[in-house]
A and B are shown apart, each in its own frame.
Chain A
Amino acid sequence: MTLHLIDYAIIGLYFLFVVGIGWALKRYMKTSLDFFESGRSLATWITGLAFISANLGAQEVIGMAASGAKYGILTSHFYWVGAIPAMVFVGVFMMPFYYGSRARSVPEYLRLRFDEKTRGFNAISFAVMTLFSSGISMYAMGRLFELFLGWDINLSILIAAAVVLVYTFLGGLTSSIYNEVLQFFLIVFGFLPLALLGLAGVGGWTGLEQRLAEVAAQRGFAPGVLTESWRHLGSASANPMGVEWFGMAMGLGFVLSFGYWCTDFLVVQRAMAAKSMNAARRTPIVAAIPKMFFPLLVILPGMVAIAVLPAGAFEFGGKTDYNMALPLMLQKFYPPGLLGLGLTALLASFMSGMAGNVTAFNTVWTYDIYQAYIRRDAGDRHYLRMGRVATVFGTVASVATAYIAMAFGNIMDLLQLVFSFINAPLFATFLLGMFWARTTPNGAFFGLLGGTGAAAVHYALTGVAGGRTSVLHIYPSDMAQNFWGAIVAWTACFAITVLVSLVTRPRDSRDLVGLVYSMTPRQRDSELPWYRRPAALGLIVLVAALFLNLYFR
Chain B
Amino acid sequence: MRLDLRIPIGLLFALLGLLLSLYGLVSDRALYAVSLGVNVNGWWGLVMLAFGSAMLGSAWVSARRPSSGA
Chain A positions within 8 Å of B, measured between CB atoms, are 6, 9-10, 13-14, 17, 20-21, 24-25, 28, 41, 43, 45-46, 178, 181-182, 185, 189, 193, 197, 200-201, 332-338, 341
Q: How many residues of B contact A (CB 8 A)?
A: 29
The answer, yes or no, to whether B9 is at the interface (CB within 8 Å) is: yes
Hey, which chain A residues are within 8 Å of B51, CB to CB?
Answer: 185, 189
Residue of chain A at shortest CB distance from B48: A189
> When A6-B23, A10-B19, A20-B8 are in contact, do A335 and B34 touch as well, CB less than 8 Å?
yes
Give residues of chain B (1-31) contacting chain A, Cβ–Cβ below 8 Å: 2-3, 5, 8-9, 11-13, 15-16, 19-20, 23-24, 27, 31
> Roughly how many angstroms separate A29 CA and B38 CA in the complex, as a whole number?
46
Residue of chain B at shortest CB distance from A27: B3
Contact B44–A335 (Cβ < 8 Å):
no
Contact B12–A182 (Cβ < 8 Å):
yes
The answer, yes or no, to whether B36 is at the interface (CB within 8 Å) is: yes
Residue of chain A at shortest CB distance from B38: A197
> Roughly how many angstroms separate A20 CA and B3 CA in the complex, as a whole number?
12
> Roughly how many angstroms separate A333 CA and B2 CA in the complex, as a whole number?
41
> When A46-B70, A178-B5, A333-B34 are in contact, do A338 and B16 touch as well, CB less than 8 Å?
no
Contact B5–A337 (Cβ < 8 Å):
no
> Roughly how many angstroms separate A10 CA and B2 CA in the complex, as a whole number?
27
Contact B34–A341 (Cβ < 8 Å):
no
Contact A28–B13 (Cβ < 8 Å):
no
Chain B positions within 8 Å of A, measured between CB atoms, are 2-3, 5, 8-9, 11-13, 15-16, 19-20, 23-24, 27, 31-32, 34-36, 38, 40-41, 44-45, 47-48, 51, 70
Contact A197–B40 (Cβ < 8 Å):
yes
Shortest Cβ distance from A242 into chain B, in angstroms?
A: 36
Contact A337–B34 (Cβ < 8 Å):
no
Question: Would you mind naming 7 contact pairs between A and B with Cβ atoms under 8 Å apart?
Answer: A10-B16, A13-B16, A46-B70, A181-B5, A189-B51, A336-B23, A338-B20
> When A182-B9, A335-B41, A341-B20 are in contact, do A13 and B15 touch as well, CB less than 8 Å?
yes
Residue of chain A at shortest CB distance from B47: A189
Contact A185–B8 (Cβ < 8 Å):
no
Shortest Cβ distance from A326 into chain B, in angstroms?
A: 16
Main secondary structure of the interface of A (DSSP, over half): helix
Residue of chain B at shortest CB distance from A344: B16
> Roughly how many angstroms separate A9 CA and B15 CA in the complex, as a whole number?
11
Shortest Cβ distance from B37 into chain A, in angstroms?
A: 10
Residue of chain A at shortest CB distance from B70: A43
One of A182, A201, A337 near B20 (C-beta < 8 A): A337
Residue of chain B at shortest CB distance from A5: B23
Hey, which chain A residues are within 8 Å of B45, CB to CB?
Answer: 337
Give the 4 A-B CB pairs with smallest separation, nearest first. A337-B41, A335-B31, A17-B12, A337-B23
Contact B8–A17 (Cβ < 8 Å):
yes
Contact A335–B48 (Cβ < 8 Å):
no
Contact B2–A41 (Cβ < 8 Å):
yes
One of A10, A46, A201 near B5 (C-beta < 8 A): A46
Contact A189–B40 (Cβ < 8 Å):
no
